[in-house]
Amino acid sequence: MSDVLLKNITKKFGSVTAINGVNSQINSGEFCVLVGPSGCGKSTLLRMIAGLEGITSGDLLIGGKNQTNADPAKRGVAMVFQTYALYPHMTVKENMSFGLKMVGTKKQEIERKVSNAAKILGLEDLLDRRPKALSGGQRQRVAIGRAIVREPKVFLFDEPLSNLDAELRVQMRLELSRLHARLKTTMIYVTHDQVEAMTLADKIIVMKDGNIEQFGAPDEIYSDPKNLFVAQFIGSPKMNILNGVVTKVDQNSAQIILPDFPDKSVIVKTAEPLKPSAHVKLGIRPEHFGQTGSIALDMVVSLVENLGDLRHVHLQADGLDSNLCSLLREKMQVTANEKMVVRFDPKDAFLFDSETGQRLR
């Protein structure tokens, strides 16, 4: 059992609250990604789990044991740092064995564990090198190896891929997935990159301003966001947001007019008891904002980004204060400053409260 339980975890730096009473459970063997914009507290939360940052109040349980105030080395966690933090004066082998040596593990035991980890990560030929003589990807592997040899209950990763170039990042992402499949250990992974979050995670925790906005499986977060922030943070390009005003409310639906598009209105399914003339926001993902659907909007193309297989078409309309984006797969000729009719289906639209940003289902 190596689940991680966060009970009302709070962190204060002086009068500033960095983590605001966070509750969550990460199940044994799960790959959990903490994601959010910079400054949201995700790294702080990870460091609190590691024991590198004290917990102001609340309880942290690892494998059922209260570790709120335990020594970092005694929590059964291992961490891979963003900068790798390899000991520069030690060889790869010494780097990996240092932690075991410090707890007084027997020599043969260390030898066995290190060579085992080296085999998993393909580091056998590099064991006598110093970190300086390694490439970025190799350093990254050593950092992971250092964590593996300790056979931790929980692996912690603090933005481990952000110092790698784009190609290597994709490759390491795959290796991490494979490693998790092989070790089946609980992993907690911090990133600001929602692509990493979507591809790696069994469970995503979206954070903002020291609070958890939503947690759940990647698909759940993507297809059923709880609020405007999560909806816009997950998914690339960002979800399009249209202003709306409620005009008519029925049993299970509401009619909403779009003030930025004269004479356009949408009937959206919702069980929410909306009041007429209430302000709402309508969210439509770019892949649902294209050439099919019952609602048609007249817009002007402002910019086309060609990605080869598909195109991001950025759109403008009179009175609209933000750019909208449509994801086109069809080989359709689109150029800037042209007019374009964009369609969407009301069933693909998410409804949010204008004031609170909460989802209206």
Measured N-to-C along each axis, helices 136-148 and 166-183 cross at an angle, to the nearest 10 degrees, of 20
- Is residue 27 part of the contact set for another protein (CB under 8 A)? no
From the list 20, 27, 56, 211, which residue makes contact with another protein (rule: CB under 8 A)?
Answer: 56
Distances (CA, A) of 280 to 70, 253, 259, 299: 47, 14, 11, 21
The answer to whether residues 303 and 320 touch, using CB atoms and an 8 Å cutoff, is no
From the list 39, 66, 87, 318, which residue makes contact with another protein (rule: CB under 8 A)?
Answer: 87
How big is the site for another protein, counted in residues (CB under 8 A)?
A: 34
Distances (CA, A) of 181 to 29, 174, 177, 269: 9, 11, 6, 40
From the list 23, 65, 66, 73, which residue makes contact with another protein (rule: CB under 8 A)?
Answer: 73
Distance of alpha carbon 105 from alpha carbon 292, whole angstroms = 64
Site string for another protein, 138-177 (x = CB under 8 A): --------x---x---------------------------
DSSP state of 133: G
Least distance from another protein to the Cβ atom of residue 49, Å: 11
Least distance from another protein to the Cβ atom of residue 89, Å: 4
From the list 15, 38, 103, 132, which residue makes contact with another protein (rule: CB under 8 A)?
Answer: 103
Least distance from another protein to the Cβ atom of residue 85, Å: 4
From the list 53, 196, 213, 272, which residue makes contact with another protein (rule: CB under 8 A)?
Answer: 53
From the list 17, 24, 25, 68, which residue makes contact with another protein (rule: CB under 8 A)?
Answer: 68
Stretch that binds another protein, among 85-93, 159-167, 215-223, 282-290 (CB under 8 A): 85-93
The answer to whether residues 202 and 217 touch, using CB atoms and an 8 Å cutoff, is yes
Q: Calculate the dihedral angle through the C-alpha atoms of 101, 106, 108, 111, rounding to the nearest 10 degrees.
A: -20
Query: What contacts 104, CB < 8 A, 6 or more positions away?
Result: none
Distance of alpha carbon 125 from alpha carbon 128, whole angstroms = 8
Burial class from Cβ neighbours inside 10 Å (0-12, 13-18, 19+) for residue 151 reads middle
Say if strands 186-191 and 31-35 run parallel, antiparallel, or are unpaired: parallel
Q: Is the peptide bond before 225 cis (omega within 30 degrees of 0)?
A: no
When the beta carbons of 101 and 361 are compared against another protein, the nearer one is 101
Least distance from another protein to the Cβ atom of residue 158, Å: 9
Least distance from another protein to the Cβ atom of residue 51, Å: 4
Least distance from another protein to the Cβ atom of residue 46, Å: 11
When the beta carbons of 50 and 221 are compared against another protein, the nearer one is 50
- Is residue 272 part of the contact set for another protein (CB under 8 A)? no
DSSP state of 238: P
- Is residue 61 part of the contact set for another protein (CB under 8 A)? no
Stretch that binds another protein, among 25-33, 70-78, 133-141, 340-348 (CB under 8 A): 70-78
Stretch that binds another protein, among 73-81, 162-170, 233-241, 305-313 (CB under 8 A): 73-81
- Is residue 347 part of the contact set for another protein (CB under 8 A)? no
- Is residue 134 part of the contact set for another protein (CB under 8 A)? no
Main-chain dihedrals φ then ψ at residue 15, nearest 5 degrees: -95, -5
Residue located via tokens 């009175």:
319
Please list every residue from 180 through 239 that binds another protein, using CB under 8 A.
none
What single-letter amino acid sits at 327? L
Edge-to-edge, what's the strand order for the sheet holding 324-328?
324-328, 311-316, 295-306, 339-344
Please report which residue ranges of 103-224 form alpha helices under DSSP H: 107-121, 136-148, 166-183, 194-200, 218-223
Structure tokens belonging to residue 272: 């929410």
Site string for another protein, 301-340 (x = CB under 8 A): ----------------------------------------
Stretch that binds another protein, among 97-105, 119-127, 198-206, 325-333 (CB under 8 A): 97-105
By CB under 8 A, name the binding residues for another protein.
47, 50-57, 68-74, 77-79, 81-89, 98-99, 102-103, 146, 150
